[in-house]
Amino acid sequence: MRLDLSAENVRELAQTNVFSSDSHRAFIVSSDAAYGFARAFENLRERMGEHGIRVFRDLEDALLWVFSEKESDSIFGKFAPRS
């Protein structure tokens, strides 16, 4: 799979608000490059006050987190795995 994103593209995408800041969203990635870009996006969104994005390499972990209650009530809390 080819990833055609630059660091500037990630910054631009991170400026767009399309979900509630409390919504849980998961990026599920399989490559180190995709993981790096997704984590950069997650960090940029966190700086803007959004804490509902996590990056996973495993579908089951991602689904567990997405369908959990509020972050403070989830089994992961602030320590969501960042494989």
Render pLDDT for 21-70 as a digit per residue (tens, 0 to 9).
678 889 999 999 999 999 998 998 899 888 889 999 999 999 998 988 75
State the residue for tokens 């490559």.
31
The H-assigned helical ranges of the chain are 7-14, 32-47, 59-66
CA count, 13 A, side-chain hemisphere, 62? 14
Going by pLDDT thresholds of 50, 70 and 90, the confidence category of residue 81 is low
Domain boundaries, the chain: 7-72
| Residue 74 in this model has a pLDDT that exceeds 70 | no
CA distance 13 to 29: 17
Going by pLDDT thresholds of 50, 70 and 90, the confidence category of residue 73 is very low
